[in-house]
Structure 1
């Protein structure tokens, strides 16, 4: 591969910068092109090993999320603008005073997988080596900490053994707890391409829902929530009974096999079927497929780790791979797919409260001494700090009196989110570093610090396959915004600490690399010592690489896998089998909360929407929070499709749109995690999730939550398109999303208002003097009002006693259309296009803005395959994430035609 340079000039004279996507753990390479007029375009980097030029819809839309709308551009104290000196002095003085009076454990940092490794490194060094507490944890605790714990129990280190190419080389890929098509779309496309090239490759999807990933599955196991431990315990017992154990590998390179097998053998097949909700025939089919296929990769993600038994699930999977020696070889191994772009980088620098930097152990006195000597720090944290859930409990009960939150939004993302918000609100001193002024968390900041965003900051990230890549800046730094590492280094100096005189992130990276090699000599897996003398110029041109990269004569550039020949990181260099006990089966049906809530992601949004919510294109596919409900459950509850539904748990309530679908298993409800108070009235789904955690990892359980559901009957339902951001205070329900030229919104009211025209003027910020065109039918409850300023539509409002029948995507398009022809304005009031204005329908392909009606027209025109539809409409030709939906539309149309 040719060297990857940082910045080049394109043939047109514009500047091209190679950087890395800031979304999921795939770590895709991105080329950002900045034209002479400042316009930014984005494309995939064909030279980056993670994506080879592919991007998903979110990555393709990055240029739509980098505007300065809503940005924090200067430091603020108590909501008032101030300078950096005043803000940082206050932070340093307050932290120092709290430590002097209450001790170092009275302060805490809550950081993020959105930070770059250099930011993470400085935060960990400051907290553990100089403040002297381990009270630094990260939202990665919510992501993959059970995977970390499972790796450390089995391997003696937090090591991901394989690489992405192993997924393509495997003959069987098991996807458990992973909606790969929507959550890691580029890896899904690599897998789909490999399967298309080798149809004999098999894919098994283990998931309570029939997700879009099942489109390429040969077997879908609709497992009951938290049935994974029993499933893989049964697999280990089956492998032993079928003489599939690699006894040579087990005897030489592992310990604890007999104990693990004895525990697994306690579950007979009928018991496993009862615990998993699967039939015995489904279990045998999966077990035999795993048994008879040598090259197996098992990919697991949040569906495994976000559980009260998450660590045991991980070790149940690892036990099966260790027992068969299917690890560290091409096309073989367990593979944890991290959720965030730099969750792995945070783990490398010890960003979790129970770890030290460079994969050293905080419980080891030898490791603590080593890190302290390297940092030349006055102290070192002597014990693990508070994990995320416990950290916010400590904030609530007053043990933590000063809290610094960086690049994350815990009021939306933490379990028991309302209690977390109350804790932050009551905390005596809260510092928030962020890029946006208004989030659910920044509203409680005593000090708000403006950070650099993607495209502005520079550093490194590590993806799920241990590949370190550069994020490079190609945009000017807006206002007074500063890098997160700079903010923390300045606070450290003002607190009187030395060792933080960094001038450039390359110096931090060099120190990080040096620590990884310090007194290592092969005893630790993480070693990037080859880069300990890196200078700024070399750092700027750094191309993606996988660790380890130690300064040894035997090091080879292509050493990408661990453990094929053992050499694990326990003191005896042997892996450990873990004897596991299957958790008790949870049954909510007889309780006051008889349904099981599962939370997760949608295709086109990310975390709490603080970035993707800026893009109207990304909001076009799913513009409103929803609850997936099985038809039988909906019928029993009297809930109609597209009606409003209220979900409740002992911790909170939310209101969502009902999506009735057989993809969802009976007794289960799925709700996405993304919506916050900026985009919906009551949709912070983690307000329902209890603060239950895995006892080993401390990771919250977000996939098996008892809830109750009930229909919510509004008196009136509305839809609006507006040029200004609407304000729906007083409505029973609302959800708003960006749209081309403005906003689109869904609304419900518990009762009519007195004057709908006046209400629109206030809610939609309509200038005084502009009168509506349309009508109000008080008897039927129908309202159709449109407000025009010359040729421009300012707002259109549609209201009825039931869900409003409006061609929504067509109505949205009217915000950017010219309305010089007065007669055509009546089409806006009607809410549907005329014969000469085709309606695209709901967006299916976000990348290329292809609607469902375009796809149906192609099918009616003779397209009977995804490829044919793609050829006629271009849908699915960019990231390919919509191809499963296109296939579903084709199947539905063909089934209807056959009736």
Structure 2
């Protein structure tokens, strides 16, 4: 069965041949041509019913599906009757399929009659949407992935693509290998894994991106690097250039805290080659000037004419598998449907198409404002679909309190437990990857099929079906009578072409008459797809015709860079982002043991001087505190950071760690144009934790440890592993935990080191290793003991020591694809492997997704220096 990956916006094709074998990349899918990252390769390991929401619940009690749907419809009806449609909101996710999104948007905006339908895409792509719409007149990404292979200069801005979009990154790695003269510029305050390939890394001051690109526009004008043939197709050129004139080389270098030579080299490379491709992601979008940052990049491509042909253009990388599909259907509160807005003409058109007289006539509440309205008591009911806003939204503690206050919280989810699901009044079991059937659209506008290949667990249903059932109960049966997702897709396609005539960029009307058989066989295709281009469109704007009424594109004056100010109380600047092996809030990846091997607990990366100034060393535990809250995790020393900055991953939640929701520290400041939160800059301080003991606890069941300073959980094969830090005596703490008194114990103690094994009916159910510092044990060996029901006295003795009698630990996992540890890699280097290629030949590390190659290079350098 061919389907698509449910993670990032690359949109890789996946092939599932046998559920007993690993999934593989679809060699024919044009997004990945067979490549998969480690998360995609591990998709088969997520197909467990463990941890799934299997049955509907109301206030924590299982009910029938019919009763749950009746309850949701009745409560919505009562709330709307009492408080009006504006008191209701839907909050969706880029994890939804297009058919799910379309149904939610139609119900909320078309029949409930309010536009309070927003999505977690607001957190990642809203600024890109505004940037494209202001420049081109439409939310239309002009590029395709083939441009990566054909560019002469690739500019990567605010994106660690090597970790966040690994397969797209591997296309770039291959292209640079094939054409070494290709230049790669990485613009990022941190030295990330993506800098490994860079010819130029601009470690600019956080928040100064718009100055760099305003200066570029000014410099292009001064150097006569303007495309004269493009000028007749542009508006607002003189005003924009006048606003950029102050951004000369010295001012840009000073503002960005770069050398003049670094800045000039970038500008010269951009001007010198016609095929320049700029890729960007959250570092540009998640800013108070996010929309203007986008337009600053697009300005440079428009004025220089570097777009509309192979290898050139401004290309935003989408963060989620179907964030683009959500944008197509109107899944953002400031969109109506099918790239239409709230003009009288658009509202009338959509009203006639949907056959509804109560279509919303004005934009609704965007994500941050939606939850603020809930906190004020104005939003009385919310339906949250496939996302975890209690963790992912800024000011997460306020979000949780707002949800606690809301009269009706409905959550349709695949996970039985999440920080948001724990606050729901009604839980509806949604289908997950492998069960869902529909379409998604990736970063390059490519629509692909996500096909079902396993039976749904429990009573899990498609999100579109749950929504349609509630719509029917609300009295809208005729408009929501679909029996198959193909019917929804066909309606969506028909709306895209309804009274379009080339005025709207999004048009897939050639698929409006698609049959179920054609839908099942639908091959990946890029929109527009209409009678003029029935086979789809790879690139846009080759004809220099844009979607503003006059057919011209717009330049926009640059924003003044905004940087969060640090202070004596909060002297450091915190950046947040993704890591290689985890996804969003870990509801899927956190349950896969091999995806927890690279980084298995929350961490904060610190510059060595900042760590030293705070009395911290590698592996210490610290608290990070802002004006809004605090976070705790492990210290990682990182020379790739600039002094005064730190980095924390976004993924950990209360399900996996004690206090690791980093967005609880971030204020809800937003870009005023897009409503996208500025998640990248927060002033913080450090407070080292000095526990009396630290330890490892292996259990067969999930628990939430109490009365400790710090804990974090990482699932293993056959057990749950906890890392802990506490103040009371470790032995006393252990015996106070539920169920421990009933176990039979083995113990070994040497000084302050305490090792205990707990047995029940001859089976190992607990292993505890504690001391003043975190004990060194062989985690693979200990985890395997929980799956082994027979063990000899010698094996038990070795287990009590935490390592096998013979052999050695593999150390920290470097290559998650093949489970290759640091110890094996170091030994191979000592035995003569002198490159990532030779390590790959010997151990296979780095030969799948390639995301570990920068770490392999670092180990090679480290050992050479040590020798």
TM-score normalised per structure 2? 0.98
User: Does the CA-based 8 Å contact 1:809-1:841 persist in structure 2?
Assistant: no
Residue 768 of structure 1 aligns with which residue? 742
* Alpha-carbon distance, 1:727 to partner: 3.7
Residues 130, 380 of structure 1: 8 Å contact kept: yes
Counterpart in the other structure of 1:3:
none
Q: Aligned runs of 1:89-168 on 2, under 5 Å?
A: 89-168=70-149
Q: Report whether the alignment pairs 1:50 with 2:31.
A: yes
Partner of 2:441: 462
Q: 1:190, CA displacement in angstroms?
A: 0.6
1:878 aligns with one of 848, 851, 854: 848
How much does 1:558 deviate?
A: 6.1
Tell me the secondary structure at the aligned position of residue 744 of structure 2.
coil
1:179-198 equivalence runs, <5 A: 179-198=160-179
Counterpart position of 1:4:
none
Alignment of 1:735-774 (within 5 A): 735-752=712-729, 755=732, 758-759=735-736, 762=737, 765=739, 768-774=742-748
Which deviations, in whole Å up to 9, do the C-alpha atoms of 1:610-631 show, x marking residues without a partner? 0001100100111000000000
CA RMSD of aligned residues (A): 1.5
Deviations 1:757-808 (A, max 9, x none): 624xx36x55834222322x5xx43211123568854332111112333344
Matched-pair contact (CA < 8 Å) for 2:747–2:754 = no
1:309 to 280, 286, 289: 289
Q: Give the drift of 1:819.
A: 6.2
> 1:23-78 CA deviation, whole Å, 9 max, x = no partner?
0000000011235xxx3631110010000000000000011111111211111111
The 2-side partners of 1:202 and 1:583 are apart by 27
Within a 5 Å distance, the mapping from 1:291-306 to structure 2 comes to 291-306=271-286
**Aligned-pair distance for 1:564?**
2.0
Determine the structure 1 residue equivalent to 2:11: 27
Distance 1:383 1:769 in 2: 63
Aligned-pair distance for 1:444? 1.2
The 1-side partners of 2:536 and 2:464 are apart by 32
- Distance in 1, matches of 2:692 and 2:564, equals 38
Report the equivalent of 2:838: 868
Query: Is the contact between residue 702 and residue 720 of structure 2 (CA under 8 Å) also seen in structure 1?
Result: yes
CA contact (8 A) 1:774 1:785 kept: yes
Give the stretch that moved more between structures: 413-422 or 275-284: 275-284
Structure 2: tracts of 5 or more residues without a match: none
Partners of 1:851 and 1:818 lie apart in 2 by 26
Partner residue in 1 for 2:299: 319
Match of 1:700 in 2: 677
Alignment of 1:721-732 (within 5 A): 721-732=698-709
Q: Does the 8 Å contact 1:321/1:334 carry over to 2?
A: yes
Report how many aligned residue pairs link the two structures: 866
Q: Note the C-alpha offset of 1:809.
A: 4.3
Distance 1:285 1:139 in 2: 37
- Residue aligned with 2:767, SS: strand
Measure how far apart 1:812 and its partner are.
3.6
1:564–1:855 CA distance, 2 compared to 1 (3 A): same
Partner of 1:237: 218
Contact residue 530 and residue 536 of structure 2 kept, 8 A: no
Match of 1:718 in 2: 695
Q: Structure 1 residue 816: deviation in Å?
A: 4.1
Pick closer, same or farther for the CA change 1:96–1:239 going to 2, 3 Å: same
CA distance in 1, matches of 2:269, 2:220: 11
For residues 40 and 766 of structure 1, the distance between their equivalents in structure 2, rounded to whole angstroms, comes to: 38
**Structure 2 counterparts to residues 226-305 of structure 1, below 5 A:** 226-250=207-231, 252-305=232-285
The answer to whether the Cα contact below 8 Å between 2:743 and 2:760 also exists between their aligned partners in 1 is no
Q: Does 1:806 align with 2:787?
A: no
Q: How does 1:177-576 map to 2 (within 5 A)?
A: 177-250=158-231, 252-362=232-342, 364-497=343-476, 498-552=478-532, 555=533, 557=535, 559-576=537-554
Shift of 1:100: 1.5
Deviates more, 1:345-354 or 1:650-659: 650-659
Range 117-126 or range 706-715, more displaced: 706-715
Give the aligned partner of residue 69 of structure 2: 88
State the match for 1:691 in structure 2: 668
**In 1, Cα distance between equivalents of 2:128 and 2:336:** 17
Larger displacement relative to structure 2 (314-323 or 484-493): 484-493
Contact 2:207 2:562 in 1 (8 A): no
CA distance in 1, matches of 2:741, 2:482: 52
Partner Cα distance (2:565, 2:261) in 1: 23
**Deviating more after overlay: 109-118 vs 656-665:** 656-665
Which stretch shifts more, 166-175 or 660-669? 660-669
Equivalent position of 2:565 in the other structure = 587
SS of alignment partner, residue 657 of structure 2: coil
CA drift of 1:157 comes to 0.3
**2:449 counterpart SS class:** strand
Q: Helix, strand or coil: the match of 2:728? A: coil
TM-score (norm 1): 0.94
Deviations, residues 238-283 of structure 1 (Å, cap 9, x unaligned): 1111111102212x21111111111111123222122212111111
Hey, what's the Cα distance between the residues in 1 that align with 2:367 and 2:559? 26
Unpaired runs of 5+ residues, structure 1, are 1-16
- How far apart are 1:88 and its partner, in Å? 1.2
SS of the equivalent of 1:470 reads strand
Structure 2 CA distance for aligned equivalents of residues 290 and 556 of structure 1 = 35
